[in-house]
Chains A and B, each alone.
Chain A
C-alpha cells in the first residue's frame, strides 16, 4: 500500500475533493504541506495577510457556491483567520480553513507560534478538529467539506500538527469521499408536504402577503422557483442584505431591501403584512427593528434548513424545516396546483395590496440629489455603475455607508452578483472578497465598492491581485470619515464627532494603487463619473482603484434607529415633514 506523508495525504485529499484554489500564506508549522503543494495541480494564491486569505475564500464561495479554502500557519497565522471565520459563520458561508499546529509533543507547552486555534474558533465555526493521526487526514478533510457544504453551510477548521503532516501513513482511500465518521451530524431531510400545503393555502388566502427572502435562497439556488412562486401567488418580495439578487430588482413585485436601511415599501409592507413567508431568513435584528413591534398583524410561515432558527426570534405559525430548494419548488408547485385547478381553484387576491405598495414606491422612493456642480454623491456613482454594467457586474462591498448605498442603488438582477459582510459587519471585507470572487469567476466584471475606512484595513491584497493578475475594480467612496459611525454620532451623539475623521488625502489612493501595481484613478465631479467608470471597467488585465471623493455629510436613508420599532422609519432630509408624517401615519384599510 502506498505510504504518504500527512502533508501529501492532505494535498491529495484536497485534490480528490475537487478543490481548485487555496488562498494562503505559509509559515513554520504548515511548511510540510507547502512542499507537496508546489507540485500539485491546486492553485495557491499567496496573500499578503491571512485575513485576506479568509475573506478571499469567502468571496470565492459566495461567487461560485463552492466551498472556499484557506490555509495558514499556527499561532498568529491561524488567529489572523479568526475574523474571516467569524464572518463566514455569521453569514453561513461554506469554507474550510486548514491551519498548521505545533508538533503533538509541544501542544500545551506555550511553544513558539502555538495557539489553541480549535479552542479559539470553537464558537465561530460550524465544526473544528485537531487531527492527531496522519491516517485520519483523508476522512477529516472529507468530513470538513461535507459539514461545511451541507445543511446550513458554514466554516470548518482543520488543525494539523506539524509532525502529523510529516509522519507517514498508508493511503487507503479508493473512492472519494472515504467513509466518514459523523454519527451525530444530521442534515435535515425533505420538508414536510403537509407544512408546504398549509403554507401555500395561507399564502393564497392572505390579502397582504410578503415573501421575506433571505440568503438561504441564494445558497440553495432556489431563485428560479422563487420567481415562479412570487408570480403565481402575486406576492411582493423583499430581499434582505444577504439576498440581494435573489429576485430581480426590475420586477414589478420587487420591494427592495428591508430593515434598518431598507426601502420604505419593503419596511412598511412587512409592518402591514397579514402574512410573512420567511424563506431562508432569520428575523435578524437589523431587519425586524424592535422585535416586539415587528409586523404585529402578520402570521408567519418560516422555511429554513436550520431548525434552531424556527421560533428563535419570532414564533412561526407554519414551520417548514428542510432544504430550501425543495421547499421552494414544493411551494411553487402547491400554489400552481391550487391556482391552476378547475372550478374550485383559489386565486390570489393581492391586487389592492399591490396597488398600495406601488403607491408607496412612487411616493417614497430612495431619494438623493446630485447637483451637477455639487459634491459627488455615492448613490449617483452606484447608479451610474449599475447603468454602465447593465446590472451585470459582481458587486462586493465592505461594511458601512458605502455598503448600504451599494445595496440600495445597484439594480441587482441575478443571484451571486452581490457579496458583502452581513451578520458580522466586517470592515475590510471587500478587497480580499472581491479577489476571491474574481478567482472563482475569472471572466466576469468584479467591482468592490469600498469605503476609505474599510479599504485601509485590507488594501495590501492589491499586491496579490496585481501579481496574480486578478483584475478587480475597487471603487473607494472616499468621504474622509468612518461614515456610518459619523452618521450615528450626528444622529445619536449630538453631532459630537469623536475619532471618526480619516481625512481624504492620506493616503493618496492613486499613488497607493500605482505603488501596488494597479491603475489608480480619481474622480470628484459628477460629470466625470461615466468617463472614469468606463476607463476602469475597460481594464481587464490589471486591477484598478478609483478614488471617488464623495460628499462627507451624505447619510444613509431611510433609517430605523437601532432598537426602535420599524414604524418609526425616518425617510431622511430629502423628504418634507409632511411626507414623513404621511409615511409614519399609514392608515391601512384592506
Chain B
C-alpha cells in the first residue's frame, strides 16, 4: 500500500478531532492511521495522519485539511525524509516449549517483554512501520491473540522544523505561555 504521512498542527480546542475525522469521512478519504497528542505548546496539538495514497488524492487531502479553521499547518513528510515510529503491544499465546524461541525473535526485533503468564507473553515494540510489520509476520506463526497499535508518529529528519514552514504560527512552551498570561 502506498501511503503518505501528514503532520498536522491543530488548535487544541474541543471538536477539532471531530472536524478532522469528519472531513476524511465526508470526502471519502481513507485513513490508514491517525495519532494525536499535545505539543510543547499547550494550545497546539499535533496529528500524524497516514493516508492511503492509492485511493485518495493526497493533494486534495492537504488542501481540504488546510481549509479547516482549527487546522494550523499541514505538511507532508517525504518518504525517507522522516523518522517514523509506531508503538505496538502484542499478546502472543505461546507453548512453554517455544518460549525461548519466541524471546529470541523478540530480541532480534528489539521488542521487550512487558508481561508474562504461563501461556502468554505481551511484547512491546517501538519501531519503524516496516520493522513492525516484519515482527508481526514472524509472530503470526506463534499465535498473536491481541494487538494494539498507536498509529504512526513521525518527525522530519534534519534541522528544519514544522514551524519554519511559511504561514505557521510560532509555538511556545507551556511555561512561556504561563509567563505571557501572567504578564
Interface residues of A (CB under 8 A from B): 118-119, 122-123, 126-127, 129-130, 147, 182-186, 306-308, 311-312
Contacts and interface: CB of A to CB of B under 8 A. Distances in A.
A122 B72 CA distance: 18
Interface stretch (B60-68, B104-112, B151-159): B60-68
Contacts of B66: 186, 307-308
A118 B73 CA distance: 23
B122 to A, nearest CB: 35
Interface of B: 10-11, 14-15, 18-19, 22-23, 25-26, 59-60, 63-64, 66-73, 167, 169
A267 B68 CA distance: 35
Contact of A306 (B14, B67, B71): B67
A408 to B, nearest CB: 33
Given A123-B22, A184-B10, A311-B59, A147 B69 contact: yes
A308 B10 CA distance: 19
Contacts of B71: 184
B14 A130 contact: yes
Given A118-B15, A130-B15, A308-B60, A123 B69 contact: no
Nearest to A127: B69
A311 B167 CA distance: 22
Nearest to A312: B60
Given A122-B19, A123-B26, A130-B14, A184 B70 contact: yes
Contact of A119 (B18, B67, B167): B18
B165 to A, nearest CB: 12
- 3 A-B pairs closest in CB distance: A308-B63, A123-B26, A184-B72
Contacts of B14: 130
A308 B18 contact: no
A130 B63 CA distance: 25
B69 A182 contact: yes
A59 B22 CA distance: 28
Contacts of B68: 184
A130 B15 CA distance: 9
A130 B73 CA distance: 23
A126 B64 CA distance: 11
A171 to B, nearest CB: 22
A126 B66 CA distance: 12
A578 B22 CA distance: 52
Nearest to A186: B167
A185 B26 CA distance: 20
Given A130-B15, A307-B63, A308-B67, A183 B22 contact: no
Given A123-B23, A306-B67, A312-B60, 11 more contacts: A126-B69, A147-B69, A183-B169, A184-B11, A184-B68, A184-B71, A184-B72, A307-B63, A308-B60, A308-B64, A308-B67
A487 B18 CA distance: 41
Nearest to A307: B63
Contact of B11 (A122, A126, A183, A306): A183
Contact of A183 (B18, B26, B64, B72): B72
Nearest to B167: A186
Given A118-B15, A308-B64, A185 B22 contact: no
A122 B60 contact: no
B141 to A, nearest CB: 44
Contacts of A311: 59
A123 B24 CA distance: 10
B127 to A, nearest CB: 33
A122 B66 CA distance: 16
A147 B69 CA distance: 8
B88 to A, nearest CB: 31
Given A130-B15, A183-B11, A308-B63, A122 B69 contact: no
A474 B70 CA distance: 42
16 contacts: A119-B18, A122-B19, A123-B23, A123-B25, A130-B15, A147-B69, A183-B11, A184-B10, A184-B72, A184-B169, A185-B69, A186-B167, A307-B63, A307-B66, A308-B60, A308-B63
Contacts of A129: 15
B22 A122 contact: yes
A96 B56 CA distance: 32
B86 to A, nearest CB: 27
Contacts of A122: 15, 18-19, 22
A411 to B, nearest CB: 37
Nearest to B72: A184
Contacts of B15: 118, 122, 129-130
A184 B26 CA distance: 21
B70 to A, nearest CB: 6
Contacts of B19: 122
Contacts of B69: 126-127, 147, 182, 184-185
Nearest to B11: A184
Contacts of B169: 183-184
Contacts of A186: 66, 167
Contacts of A308: 60, 63-64, 66-67
B17 to A, nearest CB: 11
Contacts of B73: 184
A127 B16 CA distance: 11
A312 B61 CA distance: 10
B172 to A, nearest CB: 12
Nearest to B22: A122
Contacts of B10: 184
A308 B59 CA distance: 8
A65 B67 CA distance: 22
Nearest to A306: B67
Nearest to A309: B63
A119 B63 CA distance: 22
Contacts of B11: 183-184
A253 B136 CA distance: 66
